[in-house]
A and B are shown apart, each in its own frame.
Chain A
Amino acid sequence: MSGVLVFVEHADGELDRLSREALALGASLAAAAGGPLEAVLVGPGADRAAAAIGPAVSTAHLVSDDRLDAYAPAAWAAAIVELIESRSPSAVLAGGSDRGNEVLAHVAARTARPMAANVVSVSVGDTWRLTRQRWAGSLLEDATLDADVRLLTVAPHSVPVAESDAAASAPTPPTIAPFQPAVHEPDLVARVIGHEAPEAGTISLTDARVVVGGGRGVGSVEAFATLEELAGLLGGAVGGSRVVTSAGWRPHSDQIGQTGLRIAPELYVACGISGAIQHIVGCKAARRILAINTDPESPIMGVADYAVIGDLHQVVPAISAEIRRRAAGPG
């Protein structure tokens, strides 16, 4: 088909943000390669996700087999390998998520093809040239990828997604193509057998509109209470640098950075964070960064849009107090 196939993740029908980024890059590659953009979706709710996938996708392949409802990376990859054989795309893309990287690596391993992870841009030609992230984005690599089917995952938050892409009211919704893959028992050995829901009422760091992050300067578990208070007032979530999670001041799942989460909130408030590159790669996709730091020369100032020079232990409570004062009304 000389087109592009995108593995699209969704949560019970709701499109994953990183998959939308993969679709956006996929659309431009399909146009350059002169073929259609197709998608493959697995799991319960795939039909609803396919309906919301946007007009750029011509066909959405829905993998329909109950045995694949629970995530099983090898079996999901096997289904994609089957589609590759029948559709002959020039590239298969996935989002730069745990699952995107994992499923595509299985596809690569099973078909003995190279795979480029965390790609930020691609130039289509006889030999495809691409730019990909190293060091979680602190460094870029220009490379060539020579393969009949190029397997690429898209670096998180590196490709802009037009809001209209998500429009459910697409003028021409994609053709829905249910597809029953061959399922081999050994591929189902590694599969999700249990799920623990997140604590009720918690806002996840990757979804939060505002993230308040703490670093070494916070100094203790107790001092995070002031960050929690500010995050609460802003409807946001609290995260931390690697120093903070290694010291046990926050659980590791709150780590923002190379070995933790990549976030992309509207506003990131960096409190007492000096700004090592390993942290910056985790927060630089924020639309705006406000740094609160005693040191005006700290590296975080190089990426911040706004800054308050001062001790976070005084500045953060003062901001919370000012928000409360204004909320209480004049007088």
Chain B
Amino acid sequence: MEILVCVKRVPATGGRITLTPDGQEIDTRFLGFTVSPHEECAVEEAVRIVEAQGGSSAVLTLGPSVAEEQLRDAMAIGIDRAILLETDGREFDPVATAAAIVDVVRAREAAGAPFDLILFGNEAADSGDFQVGIRVAVALGRPVVTGTKSLTLRDGAVVARREAPAGGWETYELPLPAVVSVKEGLNLPRYPSIPGRLRAKRKEIERVEPAWSSTGPVKLGLRLPEEQGAQVEILGRGPEAASDVVDLLVKIGILAS
């Protein structure tokens, strides 16, 4: 089983987001970088599948040279090799990103080393475009399912489960080769070991220069949403506030008076 996992380097935002003065980027001077929780699960799943069934795994990202850090993080938990589609810092839109990934997958195929399964996070943490995995699958003519929270391989097919719109779960079965986008909850990603980190540090990273293009949407700028501005009303302190809370629940119609 040959698996490719695609991830995206994003700032690790926790508290408030601060923008650069020109409003074009998040001010990342004081932030670390990571990948989204969905993608951490995709990486973990690839490692588990190869552990169970053999084969090998590769991690790919499109980003600046420093995105090497996220590729090494993935190799530290067991991904075999890494591909960096190295950009000059310009933002790639979903169409350009998908096209660059498709080029890599096709080049592998032409070289006789195709991928059976390509994994994505359901959406990138930052841009949240919800489309790169589907664009890659459509371009390659492979079946794709998104939102996957459980994934099983059997007899040349992948069985994916996801939450159904009206509750419960729904199941898909795709013949390989296939593309699957996953959501957090698929598994609990492991922490890297020290030997794993050391091994990852020494590994070669394959670098490819992707072609930039612009289809849109074209970003004009970023801004923070307006604060909701409501002043919080303190009902009380400790369990003695219970009576005031219940008065409130009646007042706002949650409880009958």
Partner of A143, one of B125, B174, B218: B218
A328: chain B residues within 8 A (beta carbon)? none
Given contact pairs A109-B134, A253-B185, A306-B248, A134 touches B127 in the complex (Cβ within 8 A): yes
Closest to B135 in A: A109
Interface residues in B, total, Cβ within 8 A: 85
- Once the chains bind, are B37 and A135 in contact (CB under 8 Å)? no
How far is it, in angstroms, between the C-alpha of A276 and the C-alpha of B16 when the chains are bound? Answer: 9
Q: Does A216 contact B (CB under 8 A)?
A: no
Q: Does A189 contact B (CB under 8 A)?
A: yes
How far is it, in angstroms, between the C-alpha of A305 and the C-alpha of B122 when the chains are bound? Answer: 32
- Chain A, 86-109, contact with B by CB distance < 8 Å: what is the 0/1 string? 000000000001110110011011
- Once the chains bind, are B168 and A195 in contact (CB under 8 Å)? yes
Partner of A310, one of B183, B238, B243, B246: B238
Given contact pairs A106-B138, A138-B17, A195-B170, A284 touches B228 in the complex (Cβ within 8 A): yes
- Chain A, 290-331, contact with B by CB distance < 8 Å: what is the 0/1 string? 110000100101111111111100110111011100100000
How far is it, in angstroms, between the C-alpha of A315 and the C-alpha of B156 when the chains are bound? Answer: 54
- Once the chains bind, are A105 and B242 in contact (CB under 8 Å)? no
- Once the chains bind, are A307 and B225 in contact (CB under 8 Å)? no
How far is it, in angstroms, between the C-alpha of A306 and the C-alpha of B244 when the chains are bound? Answer: 11
Q: Does A179 contact B (CB under 8 A)?
A: no
Q: Does A24 contact B (CB under 8 A)?
A: no
- Once the chains bind, are A144 and B217 in contact (CB under 8 Å)? yes
Q: Does A242 contact B (CB under 8 A)?
A: yes
Size category of the A interface is 35 or more
- Once the chains bind, are B171 and A195 in contact (CB under 8 Å)? yes
Tell me which residues from 214 to 229 in chain B have a Cβ below 8 Å from any Cβ of chain A: 215-225, 227-228
Q: Which of B55-63, B73-81, B145-153, B191-199 faces chain A? A: B145-153
Tell me which residues from 39 to 98 in chain A have a Cβ below 8 Å from any Cβ of chain B: 71, 73-74, 97-98
How far is it, in angstroms, between the C-alpha of A113 and the C-alpha of B152 when the chains are bound? Answer: 33
Q: How far does the Cβ of B77 sit from chain A's closest Cβ, in whole Å?
A: 16
- Once the chains bind, are A305 and B230 in contact (CB under 8 Å)? yes
B168: chain A residues within 8 A (beta carbon)? 195-198
Partner of A114, one of B38, B95, B235, B239: B95
B216: chain A residues within 8 A (beta carbon)? 114, 116, 143-147
A98: chain B residues within 8 A (beta carbon)? 146-147, 162-163, 165
Can you list 14 A-B pairs with a CB-CB distance of less than 8 A? A73-B144, A98-B165, A101-B123, A101-B131, A135-B13, A143-B220, A146-B216, A195-B171, A196-B168, A197-B168, A198-B167, A306-B248, A319-B246, A322-B246
User: 17 new A-B pairs (CB below 8 Å) besides A102-B130, A252-B185?
Assistant: A102-B146, A105-B130, A109-B135, A115-B131, A129-B220, A138-B13, A139-B225, A190-B144, A234-B255, A260-B184, A277-B17, A290-B245, A308-B235, A308-B241, A310-B237, A311-B238, A318-B239
